[in-house]
């Protein structure tokens, strides 16, 4: 046996997920944004949990498909699904920042694995998965003392069913040492992979992504967190997170109950925004605040940003614009059509704010900007 064979060892079997810890380098944290499905990311985590980062020669991991199914908590993983995930894990080119080099433009494009195989073991007749990392990728998988990395339990990550929860969990783990920190809203959307125009409105990101993720993460892992949107001129420009970790408390089976999520509190950053009360949107009686369900419905499309008087002016302008009734609207008042129209215009306002922010500019008066858009539309309709 050669010296190389003496040093090289094939790592067989996954073992108990409760006892496995993943060490993931900071560059690898970014791969959650490249489009790999959640099951493929969990395959990568299973590989990282099994290896010893101080033994780069032992880069081959073999485990039974049944073990992987048990790890995921499923009865049977369809062959075509497994093959698809292995293909994506093997063939997906990823771009990594070389943290060993201070140059900002030093990036590396690689495949993480040189082999991802599904086979039948001739002796046991059981299905197996074989993963072998690429030699070029070893610098981002082994010998992590030279680069920054985070640690987390395999048991925590395999319980998460949402790709957004997985991504947010890793982001929180990466920043836990700060306890409290603030991230710009555009950067948060990039990190979560929520760059659709829909999420120009924070309320959608909060209701679609952050709140459901908070519930799943806190019920299945030991991470606890709150978040507060920071506003400027009534527009969300950043989000402040406060996070901690409860050791040895990972899910409702151990606690005996679900953890109640903390209430959201919107933080206004200027006195000029105080015309709308700082309250949880779900708890506030907006119909009473705006004086009618019609104004409250319109205000919801603008994230309850504007005051009652401002919404009255917006409503008056909408009446001057030729808006078709929404499908299924039997009120005869174009109410839902106007809500959809206003939502579209407000989204355009949010997108324009983001574009200006990239150039160091801002919209000083959001209501005036939106009102001008509506006035222009009303003038065009009156000229026809």
Which residue ranges make up each domain of the chain?
1-158, 285-383
Instruction: Determine the 3-state secondary structure of 235 from DSSP.
Output: strand
Phi then psi for 244, rounded to 5 degrees?
A: -150, 175
Q: What is the pTM of this model?
A: 0.69
8 A C-beta contact, residue 38 and residue 8: no
Q: What is the pLDDT of residue 165?
A: 94
Residues of the chain with pLDDT under 70: 1-13, 33-35, 97-105, 248-284, 326-333, 381-384
| Mode of pairing for the β-strands spanning 60-64 and 11-12 | parallel
- Tokens coding 26: 């900071």
How far apart CA 1 and CA 5 sit, in angstroms, is 6
Q: In 211-234, which positions are buried (b, 16+ CB within 10 angstroms) versus exposed (e)? A: eebbbbbbbbbbbbbbbbbbbbbb
Distance CA 268, CA 365 (A): 15
Place of tokens 């293909």: 87
Q: Per residue in 53-80, is it b (16+ CB within 10 Å) or e — as a string?
A: beebebbbbbbbbebbeebbeeeebeee
Contact 179, 224 (CB under 8 A): no
Cα–Cα dist 295/317, whole Å:
13
Q: Which two tokens stand for residue 14?
A: 């996954």
Tell me the Cα Rg of the chain.
Answer: 26
pLDDT tens digits, one per residue of 40-66: 889 899 999 888 888 888 888 898 888
Return the pLDDT at 103.
58
CATH number belonging to domain 1-158 = 1.10.10.10
115-127 pLDDT per residue, tens: 888 888 888 888 8
Which pLDDT does position 228 carry in this prediction? 94
Distance between CA atoms of residues 343 and 333, nearest Å = 17
């Amino acid at each position: 046996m050669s010296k190389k064979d003496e040093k090289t060892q094939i790592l067989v079997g996954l073992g108990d997920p409760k006892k496995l810890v993943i060490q993931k380098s900071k560059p690898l944290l970014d791969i959650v944004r490249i489009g790999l499905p959640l099951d493929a990311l969990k395959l990568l985590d299973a590989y990282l949990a099994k290896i010893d980062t101080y033994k780069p020669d032992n880069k081959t991991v073999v485990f039974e498909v049944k073990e992987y199914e048990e790890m995921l908590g499923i009865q049977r993983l369809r062959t075509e699904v497994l093959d698809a995930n292995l293909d994506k894990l093997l063939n997906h080119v990823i771009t990594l920042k070389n943290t060993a080099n201070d140059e900002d433009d030093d990036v590396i494009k690689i495949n993480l694995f040189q082999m991802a195989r599904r086979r039948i073991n001739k002796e046991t007749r059981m299905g197996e998965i074989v993963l072998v990392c690429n030699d070029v990728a070893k610098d981002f998988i082994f010998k992590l003392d030279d680069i920054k990395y985070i640690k987390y339990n395999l048991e925590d990550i395999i319980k998460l069913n949402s790709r957004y929860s997985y991504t947010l969990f890793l982001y929180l783990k990466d920043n836990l040492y700060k306890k409290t920190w603030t991230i710009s809203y555009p950067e948060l959307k990039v990190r979560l992979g929520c760059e659709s125009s829909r999420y120009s409105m924070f309320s959608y990101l909060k209701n679609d992504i952050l709140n459901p993720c908070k519930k799943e993460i806190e019920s299945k892992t030991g991470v606890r967190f709150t978040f507060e949107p920071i506003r400027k001129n009534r527009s969300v420009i950043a989000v402040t997170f406060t996070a901690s970790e409860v050791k040895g408390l990972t899910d409702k089976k151990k606690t005996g109950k679900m953890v109640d999520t903390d209430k959201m509190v919107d933080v206004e950053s200027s006195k000029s925004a105080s015309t709308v009360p700082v309250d949880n949107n779900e708890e506030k009686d907006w119909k009473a605040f705006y004086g009618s369900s019609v104004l409250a419905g319109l205000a919801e499309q603008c994230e309850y940003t504007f005051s009652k008087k401002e919404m009255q002016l917006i409503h008056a302008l909408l009446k001057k614009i030729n808006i078709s009734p929404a499908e299924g609207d039997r009120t005869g008042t174009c109410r839902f059509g106007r809500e959809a129209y206003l939502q579209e215009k407000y989204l355009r306002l949010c997108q324009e704010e983001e574009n200006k922010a990239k150039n160091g500019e801002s919209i000083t008066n959001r209501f005036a900007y939106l009102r001008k858009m509506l006035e222009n539309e009303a003038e065009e309709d009156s000229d026809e």
